[in-house]
Structure 1
Amino acid sequence: MKHHWTTRTSALIASLLLPLTLSAEPKKFVFDSEAWDEGEPPAEVFVVEGKFSIVAKDGNKGIQIGVGELVEANALLGDSARGSATIEAKVFATKQGRSFPRFAIGVHGQSGYRLTVFPAKKELQLIKQEEVVKSIPYTWTSDAWLKMKLEARKVAEGEWTVTGKVWPATEAEPAEAQFTVEDTTLKGQGKCSIWGTPFSNTPILFDDVKVEVE
C-alpha cells in the first residue's frame, strides 16, 4: 500500500512539473510598415533616441531615421526576450561625397549584441556593450537594399552562440554566417533594436523587420 501511494504521488508531481520543463513557444513579430500611416511611427516602434518616421520609398513604406541632429538613433521593437533572440531587416542607405552612414541591428536591449555596418572603416562589426568583439573587412554598396540578420541562441545554461550575417537583398540568404562567437556571460534579456547614424546627412531606411524572442 505504501509503495502504491508513493508511485501515484510521484506520477502526480511529475505531471505538475512537466509544463515547467517545456520550452515556451518563441514570440514572433513582423513589422509591416504598409499598414502604418506615413509620419510619426506607431507605438510598436519605441524610439529611444533620434528622429524616426514612416515614409514611402520605391512603392513601399519603411521606418526611416531622418537627418538633422547627429545622434546614434535607435528604437526598440517587439517584446523583451528572456532567452534567445533574433532580428532580421532590410536596410537602405546612401553615401554623400566622402561621408558614409553607419547602421546596425541589435538583440537584448541597449547593452546587448549589435551587428553593425561601418562603411567609413570598410568593416562589418559585432559589438557588445559598445565594445567591438569582432570585425571583418566589408565593402558596402551605397543606394542598394541590404539584408541583415543577428541571432543570439541559448544552447545550454550559461552558454550562448551569437551569429551575424549580411547579404544583398536581391540574393538568397547565405548558409554561413560572417560572425560566430561563443558567450558565457550574456544575460539574454531585452528587446531587439534598430540603429543608425546619418553621418552622410542622408536618411537610413529599415523595412521588413522580423523579430523572434524567447
Structure 2
Amino acid sequence: MKKANWIFLGAMLLALQGAMAEEVKPLFENNFESAEIGKVPDGLMVLDGAFAVKEEGGNKFLELPGAPLDTFGVLFGPAVKENIAVSASIDGTKKGRRFPTFAVGSNGQGGYKLQISPGKGELELYKSDEVVAHVPYEWKSGEWTLLKLQVVKAGDGVWKVEGKAWTKGSSEPAKALISYDEKKEPSAGRASIWGQPYATTPIQFDNLMVTKVAEGK
C-alpha cells in the first residue's frame, strides 16, 4: 500500500477515535479530588444544607452533616430533558434503629428521584413528591452505594425512567432494578443529590456524573 494511503487511513482512524471520545465524554463530572476542603465547588448549587467538602483516608467527598433533620439537596450539571443518566456514590450509617435516606435526581427539583429508603427496606422512584415505583432493596450501612438514574425517550409520547443501585465493589446490575413509564413530556432541569440525615450521622456524596444516553436504550 502506498505511503499516502497509510497516511489517509491513519488520519481517518484518529478522527474516528476523537469522535468516539467526544461521544462518551460526560456532560458533568466531579470527584472532588481537586476541591478545597470546607468549601462547595463551583458548578454545584446548594438548595439547602451545610454541605462541604471533607477528606478521609485520602479520599475527598461532599458531606452533609447529621443535623439538623430535614431534606437537603444540591443541583449540578446542565439543564437537560431526556436521554441522560445521573449517577453518584453515596455513603451513610445507621444509628440504632434510625437510618439515613438519600437519592439522586434528574430534571430539576420537581423532576425524578431514585431514592434508597433503608427504614422501609426499599429502592424508590419519585416523580416530584410522589412515589411511582418501589422495590425491595437491602442497603448496607457504612458502605458506599452507587445510584444511577436515567431518563430516556422510548418512543412517541413515552419516556422510560429507570434506576439501578449497587454496593461499591460489586458489579453494576445488567438491567434496571426499578422503572416507570412516563407519558408526559419531562421538563428540562439539572441533576441533583439529596439527603435526609434521620440517623443524625453525616451523609457523604462522591463521583457525581451526568452522561448522555442514546435514545431508546
Q: For structure 1, list consecutive stretches of 5 or more residues without a partner in the other structure.
A: 1-23
Letter of the structure 2 residue corresponding to residue 146 of structure 1: T
Q: In the alignment, is residue 48 of structure 1 matched against residue 44 of structure 2? A: no
- TM-score, normalised by the number of residues in structure 1: 0.84
Letter of the structure 2 residue corresponding to residue 194 of structure 1: I
Report the counterpart of residue 105 of structure 2 in structure 1.
106
Shift of 1:60: 0.6
Note if contact 1:105-1:193 (Cα within 8 Å) is conserved in structure 2: yes
In the TM superposition, structure 1's runs of 4+ consecutive aligned residues that sit over 2 Å from their partners are: 24-27, 82-85, 155-158
- TM-score, normalised by the number of residues in structure 2: 0.83
Shift of 1:119: 0.5
Residue 25 to residue 138, structure 1, CA distance change in 2 (3 Å): closer
Residue 43 to residue 157, structure 1, CA distance change in 2 (3 Å): farther
> 115-124 or 81-90: which moved more?
81-90
* 1:157-183 deviation digits (Å, cap 9, x = unpaired): 422011101011101211011112211
Of all paired residues, the percent bearing the same amino acid is 35
Report the counterpart of residue 194 of structure 1 in structure 2.
193
Q: Could you tell me how far apart the structure 2 residues matched to 1:83 and 1:188 are?
A: 9
Residue 54 to residue 133, structure 1, CA distance change in 2 (3 Å): same
Q: In the alignment, is residue 62 of structure 1 matched against residue 49 of structure 2? A: no
Q: Could you tell me how far apart the structure 2 residues matched to 1:27 and 1:122 are?
A: 32
Note if contact 1:51-1:67 (Cα within 8 Å) is conserved in structure 2: no
Report the counterpart of residue 123 of structure 2 in structure 1.
124
Please state whether the residue corresponding to 1:35 is helix, strand or coil: coil
> 185-194 or 144-153: which moved more?
185-194
Please state whether the residue corresponding to 1:91 is helix, strand or coil: strand
Return the index of the structure with the highest Cα Rg: 1
* 1:66-117 deviation digits (Å, cap 9, x = unpaired): 1222120100011111332211111110001111000000000111110000
Note if contact 2:26-2:209 (Cα within 8 Å) is conserved in structure 1: no
Report the counterpart of residue 145 of structure 1 in structure 2.
144
The alignment covers a number of residue pairs equal to 191
Note if contact 1:100-1:200 (Cα within 8 Å) is conserved in structure 2: yes
Report the counterpart of residue 86 of structure 1 in structure 2.
85
Report the counterpart of residue 8 of structure 2 in structure 1.
none
Q: Could you tell me how far apart the structure 1 residues matched to 2:179 and 2:108 are?
A: 20
